A and B are shown apart, each in its own frame.
Chain A
């Protein structure tokens, strides 16, 4: 057996095992609502997509956005308003929310990419806070009350989303579409240039890439996908409130990604699942959730910066050569 065919078989083996794993996960996701509480699962899926969208920036361009709640919560408001007040069909409402988030992303991104590193984080945080103040004051968001009682309606006028099962499968389909989009972006030539910027921005500039355009492009895509998650959340939970746009939400999505593994595709999903499960679990006790979130932050930063998925992959890699 030549080296080449050996490589080929190992590659095709890897591909079959990945496909097999994917099929098992998909089957589990399809069966999940029969074993677990559907609202919990839908919440995990929405936040998982949100975290994946956030990870597109931190993991593949190296930009830490501290204001991603703007896109998540902004889209939730837009979707909720379109569906409740204008009577839009839910899917088009969600897509409108994602579009709105993308437009917000253009503004925020254009300002934020003018500085790097730590400043980028502070600017996105400040602009996010500004957006939260605006949401508090404009009439259509209804201030402290938020937009309540958003009807789930019928998907494309056909599928009744008021039943938990159809709602779950629609949420799953949106999550998978978003996840697939991120996978495509990361593994495209565009994604490779993003990674080059992450590794060495000056080098990417010297190679002739217009780094700012790539950064802005990635920022807008990330914002749009975060918006997709936020819009879906508004339909699932039937409300959009200030909680979704405040900095605590931006912090939560950072935690999910950090805990799961920055720069891994599956990490943010794992992180979102854990954080949501933990919040659900603690909701019954009187232990302050913020303290626990803070503790997890500190532990992650000090002890395992690669996150759960990152550490597992590192373990596998270390075992592989022997």
Chain B
């Protein structure tokens, strides 16, 4: 068996793949956080809970309505996005113009409510969710064995990331969004309905988290706590990348995921903290983040 630095190559590639998968979720979630923060100036602590809601929506649709993975890929993000729109309209809206910390605390409270309620109803144990039959099994690539679903996750998340980036950079809606990020009052004066734009943005960001949740359901198990630990890592990713750029959030997400995978190969004890260590180093060297601007 061939080895690199004394590590068998299949193990190395396997961990890089796991790193890419984790990185896909870091990228998807930090992307949503960056989109929301850019316009609303709110750090959405409920992002992890919305990711969990997406996974549960897919699970419940299958269990109780017999709706499979593919329709759920559309339906679950819509459900999560709709619930987020209700949250924005009834609660978050009242906090605009106040210290942004209140937005963080409100969404933190919401995250606790969602997680606590789901844990109460479904217990803390994970629920298995099998991938759709089209994506079951795996292929032997010669140098490693690739479960097809995992390959699909990496590709799908890349497509979603690029799609979101295009939506924001190349479309009319994206142009409104970017303009409102720069100067909301002026955009409103031009006749754009900014409050509606804010609602839509929060819904879109949450829907992205929900979509990530559906993608994650067959990889990790569906559990009420799947979001809370992930969101803290994503916060570190966001600090590393800086929230100035969408592309920056995506690149940082994949990069740190792979780095985490590699750490698992070479020094497993440090794999759970490596992202935080990188965050500390970035704070020392470049406090605004790799892609951030000093404000």
Q: Could you tell me which A residues sit within 8 Å of B by CB distance?
A: 64, 111, 114-115, 117-119, 121-123, 125-127, 129-130, 133-134, 137, 247, 251, 254, 258, 288-298, 300-302, 305
Given A64-B104, A129-B232, A288-B119: A122 and B43 interface contact (C-beta under 8 Å): yes
Complex contact B232–A117 (CB within 8 A): no
Is A247 within 8 A of B232, CB to CB? yes
Pairwise interchain contact B283-A251, C-beta atoms closer than 8 A: no
A9 CB, min distance to chain B CBs, angstroms: 39
Give Cα A258 to B102, complex, Å.
10
Judge whether A133 and B116 touch: CB under 8 Å.
Answer: no
Contacts A127-B276, A133-B272: A115 and B239 contacting too (C-beta < 8 A)? yes
Q: Which residue of B lies closest to A292 (CB)?
A: B116
Expressed in whole angstroms, the minimum distance between the Cβ of A86 and any Cβ of chain B is 26
Q: Specify the main secondary structure of chain B where it touches its partner.
A: helix
Inter-chain contact B104/A121, CB cutoff 8 Å:
yes
| Dominant secondary structure at the A interface | helix
Asked whether B105 lies within 8 Å of A258 as measured between CB atoms, the reply is yes
A118-B95 Cα distance, complex, nearest whole Å = 15
Alpha-carbon separation in the docked complex, A289 to B236 (Å)? 28
Q: Give complex CA distance A117, B276 in Å.
A: 19
User: 12 A-B pairs, CB-CB below 8 angstroms?
Assistant: A111-B280, A115-B239, A123-B239, A125-B232, A125-B235, A126-B232, A127-B276, A129-B236, A130-B277, A254-B108, A294-B114, A297-B112
Binding site for A on B (CB under 8 A): 37, 43, 91, 94-95, 98, 100-102, 104-106, 108-117, 119-120, 228-229, 232-233, 235-236, 238-239, 269, 272-273, 276-277, 279-280, 283-284, 287
By Cβ-Cβ distance, the 10 closest A-B pairs, closest first, are: A297-B109, A290-B116, A294-B112, A294-B113, A291-B116, A130-B276, A126-B236, A122-B235, A298-B109, A288-B120
A296 with B109: in contact, given A122-B239, A123-B279 (CB under 8 Å)? yes
Bound Cα distance from A290 to B112, whole angstroms: 6
Contact across chains for A251 and B108 when beta carbons are under 8 A apart: yes
Pick the contact of A121: B43, B236, B280, B284 (CB < 8 A). Answer: B43
Cross-chain contact B111 with A294 (CB below 8 angstroms): yes
Bound together, the chains give a CA A130 to CA B94 distance in angstroms of 34
Task: Output the nearest chain A residue to B280 by Cβ-Cβ distance.
Answer: A111
User: Do residues B272 and A288 form an inter-chain contact, with CB atoms below 8 A?
Assistant: no
Chain B residues lying within 8 Å of A64, measured Cβ to Cβ, are: 101, 104
Task: Assess the B116–A114 pair: CB atoms within 8 A.
Answer: no
Residue from B95, B98, B280 with most neighbouring chain A CB atoms (10 Å):
B280
